[in-house]
Structure 1
Amino acid sequence: MTAMSVPQATSPDGQKPSIGQTTDNLLLDGRVHLRQPLNGYRVAIDPVFLAAATPARDGQTVLDLGCGAGAAALCLLARVPGCHVTGWELQPELAELARENSARNDVRERFAATCRNGLERVSANHGRFDLVMTNPPYLADGQATPSPTAGKSLANQESEGSLQDWLCAALHYLRPGGHLSVIHRADRLHELLAALHLRAGDIAVFPLWPRQGQAARRVLLRARKDSGAPTRLLPGLELHGAGQHFTPEADAILRKAQSLCLD
């Protein structure tokens, strides 16, 4: 484990997030090497599913809005090595980790991470990307007590903007007809759909069920900018079978880098 020392952002409560020690972890059964903070925001399965649901092809450009340490971008490149990913991350230390992880996985020419507030829409990048994928903070501002770890609080709780701000920014950077992929809490699906109303269509909603008979906690959502096609609710996927074992369908995504078709 190593200590990081780079310029620091400031959280809403004035604390300076510190990455501190990091750990080395593997995703996709060892295809992706990820260094991430020991404390603070830690990668789970969400970015892996987000990457699997992003329908990129070789030669296309992808924006990872709020890329963190680069987990989703690296998982996407493991499956689609010919695409090009730009990562924007608000926290300088996480952006530095994303650049380090890009080098560790030998994809520096295809994954460039920058410290940037992607919610500040810049005209120079308007309509630039073929696809945008994002994993916005799950908690609305004021909905819960912020984590005492400033970096984790910035990753988990809205501070720079609302969920609608995130989706509007994503669509701003997306070319006409391009695809947006999002993973978020199932209980905020109504907010996701409201933010996309009249801005995108051909919306596919894909629930992730913890196991059979249990309510979904996460949803994957894919939309096409400027489309008028109707919204579709798909069957979704059960994550766990007996005990804590992943189902074969979930395991194929989490370990074998299989894509997730939302068509």
Structure 2
Amino acid sequence: MNEVDNQPLLLEGERVDEIGFEGLKLIQEPNEFCYGVDAVILADFAARGTNQKSKMKAAVDLGTGTGIIPFVLSHKTSLEKIYGIEIQKNSFDRACRNAQMNRLSHKVHFIHADIANPIEELESLRGTFDVVTSNPPYMTGKAGLINENEAKRIARHETTADLESFVAAAAGLLKPRGHFYMVHRPSRLVDICFYCRKHRLEPKELRFVAPDKNSAANIMLVHCVKYGNPELKILEQLSIYKEDHSSYSEEILKIYER
């Protein structure tokens, strides 16, 4: 067992992964859900947008898991406060220990809550954020193979909160003209646009992401603005790997370098 400030750091079955970004590390449990490259590219997408704006001070990540997106944002932006909201107690506990391990507890904070059933602490934060990010479950409740592992099932399937719940929570937490960044599947594009407009989040940018430049996109990045004017830009497609899949593409490698 490792310790930070005399507190338990690593529990049985957990590991510490180097995630880059000037030495940031993450405690994960391999038998539960571990973050993927989609979380990293979402954090970079949000960071680029945030850095182009002035006076961006506070961000919150919905369904944060063990905190990968808040930690990458802490490296890539000058945001003063970054929150992560997580329903799973084990993941929430790891996120808190990750903040402690990375010496970021003064800047990165985590809340154990269900975004579909806001607790009082979340209600007090309504309308206070400049930026909201989310990498929500991609699968609807009955779609795809249902994982018997509860932690993985909750992370991958809409079991506790559906797509509209994440969009509605983002809209409620954002300031007017605040920015919402999400990663999801292209197959949910119509639903995403419908729910975002329903909750006054206007889609402004869309970027498709494919395994390589010769493959069809299998995920996408969406940027919305609360009370924004209608105008959607389709950005250049992003490839995760080189054509032979021998390594990440140059753009992905640059994301990890910045």
Q: TM-score per shorter chain, which class? A: 0.7 to 0.9
Out of 4, 12, 16, the position equivalent to 1:24 is: 16
TM-score computed with the length of structure 2 as normaliser: 0.87
Match in the other structure for 1:163: 163
Out of 29, 32, 37, the position equivalent to 2:29 is: 37
Question: Does residue 241 in structure 1 map to residue 242 in structure 2?
Answer: yes
Distance between the aligned counterparts of 2:186 and 2:152, measured in 1?
Answer: 21
Match in the other structure for 2:253: 251
Question: Does residue 146 in structure 1 map to residue 146 in structure 2?
Answer: yes
Secondary structure at the aligned position of 1:193 is classed as: helix
Question: Does residue 107 in structure 1 map to residue 109 in structure 2?
Answer: no
Gaps of 5+ in 1: 3-18, 258-263
Report the CA distance between 1:125 and its aligned residue: 2.1
- Percent sequence identity over aligned pairs: 22
Secondary structure at the aligned position of 2:228 is classed as: coil
Instruction: Check 1:20–1:167 CA distance in 2 against 1; reply closer, same or farther (3 A cut).
Output: farther
Kindly indicate whether the alpha-carbon contact (under 8 Å) linking 2:95 and 2:110 is maintained by their aligned counterparts in 1: yes
Secondary structure at the aligned position of 2:50 is classed as: coil
Kindly indicate whether the alpha-carbon contact (under 8 Å) linking 1:59 and 1:84 is maintained by their aligned counterparts in 2: no
Match in the other structure for 1:207: 208
Q: Aligned letter for 1:64?
A: D
Mean Cα deviation higher: 112-121 or 60-69:
112-121
Q: Aligned letter for 2:196?
A: L
Question: Does residue 48 in structure 1 map to residue 49 in structure 2?
Answer: no
Report the CA distance between 1:63 and its aligned residue: 0.6
Q: String of CA shifts for 1:91-131, please: whole Å, max 9, x gaps.
A: 01100100100111111001011211122245422211111
Match in the other structure for 1:5: none
Instruction: Check 1:202–1:185 CA distance in 2 against 1; reply closer, same or farther (3 A cut).
Output: closer
Question: Does residue 217 in structure 1 map to residue 218 in structure 2?
Answer: yes
Kindly indicate whether the alpha-carbon contact (under 8 Å) linking 1:208 and 1:217 is maintained by their aligned counterparts in 2: yes
Distance between the aligned counterparts of 2:23 and 2:133, measured in 1?
Answer: 20
Secondary structure at the aligned position of 2:69 is classed as: helix
Mean Cα deviation higher: 144-153 or 217-226:
144-153
Distance between the aligned counterparts of 2:233 and 2:77, measured in 1?
Answer: 26
Match in the other structure for 2:179: 179
Out of 82, 87, 90, the position equivalent to 1:90 is: 87
Distance between the aligned counterparts of 1:86 and 1:139, measured in 2?
Answer: 25
Figure out how many residues of one structure are paired with residues of the other and give that number. 240
Report the CA distance between 1:20 and its aligned residue: 6.1
Larger relative contact order, structure 1 or 2 (CA cutoff 8 Å, min sep 6): 1
Kindly indicate whether the alpha-carbon contact (under 8 Å) linking 1:90 and 1:117 is maintained by their aligned counterparts in 2: yes
Distance between the aligned counterparts of 1:165 and 1:238, measured in 2?
Answer: 29
Kindly indicate whether the alpha-carbon contact (under 8 Å) linking 2:126 and 2:172 is maintained by their aligned counterparts in 1: yes
Report the CA distance between 1:81 and its aligned residue: 4.6
Q: Aligned letter for 2:234?
A: L
Report the CA distance between 1:145 and its aligned residue: 3.5
Q: String of CA shifts for 1:125-145, please: whole Å, max 9, x gaps.
A: 221111100011010011133
Distance between the aligned counterparts of 2:40 and 2:197, measured in 1?
Answer: 27
Instruction: Check 1:231–1:82 CA distance in 2 against 1; reply closer, same or farther (3 A cut).
Output: closer
Report the CA distance between 1:56 and its aligned residue: 3.0
TM-score computed with the length of structure 1 as normaliser: 0.85
Instruction: Check 1:20–1:81 CA distance in 2 against 1; reply closer, same or farther (3 A cut).
Output: farther
Gaps of 5+ in 2: 3-10
Secondary structure at the aligned position of 1:142 is classed as: coil
Moved beyond 6 Å, runs of 4+: none
Distance between the aligned counterparts of 1:123 and 1:106, measured in 2?
Answer: 28
Match in the other structure for 2:130: 130
Report the CA distance between 1:174 and its aligned residue: 0.6
Kindly indicate whether the alpha-carbon contact (under 8 Å) linking 1:20 and 1:38 is maintained by their aligned counterparts in 2: no
